[in-house]
């Protein structure tokens, strides 16, 4: 007979709210920093006299190092404790932002962008791990993930608008703006976020496997970034992919024989996580990274919008992403992940199809806005449903790595999608090329709907909560970690 549950006290509820605000503010910081740089880039380039390659790497250095260090960041969080890593990553992010704002040359700026990427790679999985370990599986966690996703989506859009306002003062303020968020989150973390639990002490970091994994992702994402600029047949692009494949083989071999693998073998057998990773890649290759890239290119290059005007044009998309997250928070429990995620991808595909159909028309209100509204709703619904489904069967010890795996595939999917669409758009894309690109992205979103329907079991919120409780009760007793691995 199940024991009766005690409702949380007002003090406990305030603590949960404070924790959610702290985690959401940190997520807003990551999203803001990702998008604010696009608006500031022309001024940065002019002030520091950047070459075309250096200008590209102001953006790419962050993305490459972010993707490369995510899995290691996730395992560090599981090893050291998510709160401790959360605070350390925020300190590094703040220091890198300060140095970036003071940078006097391209070399220092690129180094600070790489440091920001590494800090974000440690911060992102620790945020998701803290959300999933602070809030109970079921309705409480679903609502928390919906708020987290909503704030993150708002940060992406706010970055474009805030970037335009700050750049009118100085591009350096697009770096300095990160400091208040970092300081406040570090101060709030000890008060509102849980510390490390006992089971976290059983995990060690396999250094050699971590180096192989980081190198594999770094060179692979580097290759995808080069493919978007230099082409798929460029020798350096091909060399990067070859090096990535070699490092993958070495990493996989080490993981099979290691007594302390970087990725717990149970995660590879967790179907919901694998499906979450697939969904994450298709999400970024359709309604997320690829759509942002296409719409930005269409507005600024195809329609001659100024950066601030383009940012304002994104506001309806951001508002609908926010609303979509709220919808997902309401429906993912009653409908289950499979139905809600398949519906979300279908809505996103419809929005991209509308954008493709209207790409030859130049009216914002009549042509672009309907597609932005519909795709934005799908975007928000996917984000929350995807993370609820992908992490629901993962125990607390592995939440950091699970979140990192989903985010790594997310960025890899986005990089691959952008690199592939460069072939479609060419060097001087016209309306027809944009139409084809949007329709292809819509096809990817439809593939996401199929994957969601086939891959996820038909469980509802009640099933998820029950499974989570049983899973928690079945956690093994902590044992000393073997010392045989590096």
User: Which of 8-22, 31-45, 80-94, 472-486 comes out lowest in average pLDDT?
Assistant: 472-486
- To which CATH superfamily is domain 20-204 assigned? MFS general substrate transporter like domains (1.20.1250.20)
For residue 169, is pLDDT > 80?
yes
Residue 75 or 464, more confident:
75
pLDDT at 203: 56
The pLDDT of 431-456, averaged and rounded, is 92
Same fold, 20-204 and 271-470: yes
Q: Which two tokens stand for residue 117?
A: 């990427």
Q: Which two tokens stand for residue 372?
A: 């932005």
Which sequence spans correspond to the domains of the chain?
Answer: 20-204, 206-261, 271-470
User: Which of 12-16, 197-201, 230-234 comes out lowest in average pLDDT?
Assistant: 197-201
Model pLDDT for residues 147-166, shown as the tens digit of each residue: 887 787 778 767 877 887 88
Neighbouring CB atoms inside 10 A of 14's CB total 12
pLDDT at 461: 47
Model pLDDT for residues 175-194, shown as the tens digit of each residue: 999 999 999 999 999 999 98
- The mean of the pLDDT values for the chain is 83
Q: Closest Cα partner for 281 from 452, 475, 42?
A: 452
CA pair distance 391, 372, nearest whole angstrom = 29
The pLDDT of 60-82, averaged and rounded, is 86
- Cα-based distances in Å from 297 to 127, 164, 213, 279, 283: 31, 17, 33, 25, 19
For residue 92, is pLDDT > 90?
yes
* DSSP letters spanning 357-410: HTTT---IIIIIHHHHHHHHHHHHHHHHHHHHHHHTT--GGGHHHHHHHHHHHH
pTM above 0.85, yes or no: no
Residue 293 or 346, more confident:
346
Q: What angle do CA 141, 92, 35 make, to 5 degrees?
A: 65
For residue 3, is pLDDT > 50?
no
- To which CATH superfamily is domain 271-470 assigned? MFS general substrate transporter like domains (1.20.1250.20)
For residue 119, is pLDDT > 80?
yes
The pLDDT of 119-133, averaged and rounded, is 90
* DSSP letters spanning 76-133: HHHHH-HHHHHHHHHHHHHHHHHHHHH--SHHHHHHHHHHHHHHHHHHHHHHHHHHHH
Residue 473 or 162, more confident:
162
For residue 108, is pLDDT > 70?
yes
């Amino acid at each position: 007979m199940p024991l009766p549950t005690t409702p949380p006290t007002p003090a406990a509820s305030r603590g949960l709210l404070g924790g959610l605000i702290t985690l959401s503010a940190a997520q807003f910081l990551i999203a803001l920093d990702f998008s604010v740089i696009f608006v500031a880039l022309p001024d940065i380039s002019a002030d520091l006299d950047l070459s075309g390659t250096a200008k590209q790497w102001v953006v790419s250095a962050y993305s490459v190092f972010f993707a490369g260090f995510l899995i290691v960041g996730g395992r560090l969080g599981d090893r050291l404790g998510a709160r401790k890593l959360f605070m350390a990553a925020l300190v590094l992010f703040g220091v890198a932002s300060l140095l970036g704002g003071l940078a006097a040359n391209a070399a220092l700026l690129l180094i600070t962008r790489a440091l920001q990427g590494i800090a974000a790679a440690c911060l992102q999985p620790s945020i998701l791990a803290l959300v999933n370990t602070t809030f109970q599986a079921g309705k409480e966690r679903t609502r928390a993930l919906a708020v987290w996703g909503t704030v993150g989506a708002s940060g992406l859009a706010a970055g474009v608008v805030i970037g335009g306002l700050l750049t009118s003062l100085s591009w350096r303020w697009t770096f300095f703006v990160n400091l208040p968020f970092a300081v406040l989150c570090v101060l709030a973390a000890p008060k509102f976020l849980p510390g490390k639990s006992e089971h976290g002490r059983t995990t060690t970091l396999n250094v050699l496997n971590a180096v192989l994994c980081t190198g594999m992702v770094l060179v692979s994402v580097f290759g995808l970034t080069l493919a978007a600029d230099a082409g798929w047949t460029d020798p350096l692009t091909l060399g990067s992919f070859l090096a990535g494949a070699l490092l993958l083989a070495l990493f996989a071999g080490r993981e099979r024989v290691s007594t302390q693998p970087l990725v717990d073998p149970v995660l590879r057998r967790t179907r919901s996580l694998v499906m979450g990773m697939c969904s994450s890649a298709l999400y970024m290759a359709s309604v997320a990274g690829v759509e942002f890239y296409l719409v930005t290119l269409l507005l600024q290059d195809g329609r001659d919008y100024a950066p601030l005007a383009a940012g304002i044009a994104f506001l309806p998309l951001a508002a609908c992403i926010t609303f979509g997250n709220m919808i997902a928070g309401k429906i993912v429990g009653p409908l289950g992940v499979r139905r809600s995620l398949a519906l979300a991808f279908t809505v996103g595909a419809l929005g991209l199809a509308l954008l493709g159909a209207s790409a030859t028309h130049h009216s914002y209100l009549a042509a672009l806005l309907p597609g932005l509204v519909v795709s934005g709703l799908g975007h928000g619904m996917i984000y929350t449903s995807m993370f609820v489904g992908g992490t629901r069967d993962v125990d607390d010890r592995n939440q950091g790595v699970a979140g990192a795996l989903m985010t790594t595939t997310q960025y890899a999917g986005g990089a691959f999608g952008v690199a592939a669409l460069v072939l479609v758009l060419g060097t001087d894309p016209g309306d027809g090329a944009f139409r084809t690109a949007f329709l292809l992205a819509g096809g990817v979103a439809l593939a996401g709907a199929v994957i969601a329907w086939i891959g996820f079991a038909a469980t509802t919120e009640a099933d998820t909560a029950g499974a989570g409780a049983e899973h928690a009760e079945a956690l093994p007793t902590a044992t000393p970690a073997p010392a045989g691995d590096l």
